[in-house]
Every structure is written in C-alpha cells, then in structure tokens.
C-alpha cells in the first residue's frame, strides 16, 4: 500500500488489529508517523468516551429504578442586559453525543453544532426565560429559580427527579444539587448548551434592535464597548436597572 492509501485507511478508521500489526512493522518513516498519529487519536477518543460514560453516573441511579430524570442549568446570571435563560433536558441511555460537556468548555461553533443534535436525541427539552424587568423586581437568584421551574414545567414529560447545577428549583420534585454539575452530568451539560445557544440567539436579535451595545459579541456582559455605549446612550429596556453600573445611569 502507498502512504496515501494508508492515510485514507487510518482516517476512515477502517483498519483491523491485524493490519495495525503489519503497519507497525513497516519500515517507512512516513507510515510510522501516520501510525503514531492514529494511535494518539484513538487514545484521546477512548478517554473522551470514558469521561462521557462517567458523566452518566447520576442518571443511571434513577434509570435503574425506572425513573425519568431531567438535568437543569442556566445561563445569564452575570450580564448587565438581557434575560436569564434556563433549560431542562431529559435524555436516556441511547444518548451518544460524546462532545456534550460543560458549555463553557466548548467553542461557540461546537455549541451551535451540538444544539440541534441535542434537540433531536433528547427525550424532552424545556426552556425557561425571565426578563430583565423580572430580575430587577425579585433579584437574579429568585428569577433564576423561577426560570428553572418554567423549564421543567415546559417539558413534554414529567420527570421523577431533577439534577440541578448548584441550585434548587421551587418544585415538589426530588432534586440532586451538583456543584459544577455541567461537568458531572450529561443531562446538565446538555441543558447548559441548550440554554447558552438559546440565550445567545436572543442576544443576537437584541443586537439588531440596539446595535450600539454589541450584544451579539458580548451577550450583555460588561465589555468595554458595552460600557462605553451605556455611558453614551444610557440603558435600554433590556438592561438590568438594579445591576451596577447600569443602576448609576438610572434617573
């Protein structure tokens, strides 16, 4: 086989153990480089799979009892503008999106790629949104909790239990609160991606209404461009009036 043919074989993962053994005995340096690269790739994939299956630990405890469990997460507690968005996601043992992880560890491009795949593979997905006006009225913590409640209630199936990222949802449903849960549970990780992409899309729309603030790039967080626009134009209807420095601009 030529080196080009071997490269195609390895890239397509169409190589048997016997063929790998033969390739390991090939004296060509180009073949050995390709083989080492392939082995490293397979080792990384094996590690990713192991970590992925480890993140089913909490879900499996409920599945063994025949119970439905939903992962719940939020995004948007810290921005100066825009809503807080939450998602509740129910998955089952057939869920196989290895890339699903804490949304903060993924690039925007990867999150966008995973978003429709999660919606397709999930048993159910629910969204909860609370506006800046609600946040100002009852504070961000309580608005977050109510948004989580809405997300769970918007599921097409009623869960028997919830896995929540470091929060408590005001519902009479058994809950497991996990610190950094989006890195420990695939359900919560999926919810973190759905909530993040959903909120980013909302902020992209707001950017078209209020282009001076750069919402499509900063998602409402207090970047230099955002603060400069806030100082020049003042707060918009989607700004959180109780958040400093927005509160300093409210007359």
Tens digit of pLDDT for each residue in 101-127?
888 889 999 999 999 999 999 999 999
Partners of 162 in beta bridges: 70, 175
CB-based contact 78:221 (threshold 8 Å) = yes
pLDDT of residue 240: 97
Among 176, 197, 218, the domain boundary falls at 197
Same structural domain for residues 40 and 124?
A: no
3-class DSSP assignment, residue 209: helix
Of 7-16, 142-151, 171-180, the range with the lowest mean pLDDT is 7-16
Q: Does pLDDT of 13 surpass 80?
A: no
Tens digit of pLDDT for each residue in 38-87?
888 888 888 889 999 999 999 999 999 999 999 999 999 999 999 999 99
DSSP 81: B
Same structural domain for residues 20 and 46?
A: yes
Same structural domain for residues 74 and 32?
A: no
Tens digit of pLDDT for each residue in 182-241?
899 999 999 999 999 999 999 999 999 999 999 999 999 999 999 999 999 999 999 999
Same structural domain for residues 74 and 27?
A: no
CA dist 92 to 64, 66, 73, 118, 249, Å?
Answer: 11, 11, 18, 12, 48
Same structural domain for residues 100 and 182?
A: yes
Same structural domain for residues 45 and 74?
A: no
Same structural domain for residues 34 and 155?
A: no
Same structural domain for residues 94 and 162?
A: yes
Please state the length of the chain.
251
pLDDT of residue 25: 86
Supply the CATH number for residue 176's domain.
3.30.420.10
Domain that includes residue 126, residue range: 57-197
Q: Does pLDDT of 18 surpass 90?
A: no
> CB within 8 A of 111, min separation 6: which ones?
103, 193, 196, 197
pLDDT of residue 6: 83
Among 173, 197, 221, the domain boundary falls at 197
Q: Which two tokens stand for residue 214?
A: 């750069």
Query: pLDDT-derived band of residue 163, with 50, 70 and 90 as boundaries?
Result: very high
Q: Does pLDDT of 14 surpass 80?
A: no
Query: pLDDT-derived band of residue 21, with 50, 70 and 90 as boundaries?
Result: confident
> CB within 8 A of 48, min separation 6: which ones?
98
Number of compact structural domains in the chain: 3
Q: Which two tokens stand for residue 80?
A: 């100066």
> CB within 8 A of 90, min separation 6: which ones?
68, 69, 70, 71, 122, 123, 124, 125, 155, 157, 159, 187
- Kindly state the helix (H) or strand (E) to which residue 47 belongs, with its residue range: helix 29-54
Same structural domain for residues 29 and 11?
A: yes
Same structural domain for residues 126 and 184?
A: yes
Same structural domain for residues 82 and 180?
A: yes
* Tokens 């909120």, located at residue: 199
Same structural domain for residues 129 and 193?
A: yes
């Amino acid at each position: 086989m030529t080196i080009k043919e071997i490269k195609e074989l390895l890239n397509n993962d169409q190589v048997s153990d016997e063929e790998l053994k033969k390739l390991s005995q090939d004296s060509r340096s180009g073949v050995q480089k390709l083989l080492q690269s392939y082995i490293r790739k397979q080792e990384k994939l094996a590690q990713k799979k192991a970590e992925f299956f480890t993140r089913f630990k909490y879900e499996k405890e409920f599945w063994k009892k025949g119970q439905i469990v939903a992962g719940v997460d939020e995004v948007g507690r810290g921005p100066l503008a825009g809503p807080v968005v939450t998602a509740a996601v129910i998955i089952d043992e057939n869920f196989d999106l290895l890339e699903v992880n804490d949304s903060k560890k993924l690039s925007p491009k990867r999150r966008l790629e995973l978003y429709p795949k999660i919606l397709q593979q999930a048993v159910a997905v629910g969204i909860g949104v609370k506006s800046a006006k609600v946040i100002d009225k009852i504070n961000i913590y309580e608005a977050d909790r109510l948004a989580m409640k809405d997300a769970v209630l918007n599921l097409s199936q009623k869960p028997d239990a919830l896995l929540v990222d470091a929060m408590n949802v005001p519902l009479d449903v058994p809950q497991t609160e996990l610190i950094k849960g989006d890195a420990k549970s695939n359900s919560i990780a999926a919810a973190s991606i759905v909530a993040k992409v959903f909120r980013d899309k909302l902020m992209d729309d707001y950017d078209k209404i209020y282009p001076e603030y750069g919402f499509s790039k900063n998602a409402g967080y207090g970047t230099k461009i955002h603060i400069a626009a806030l100082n020049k134009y003042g707060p918009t209807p989607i700004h959180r009036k109780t958040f400093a420095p927005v509160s300093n601009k409210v007359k």
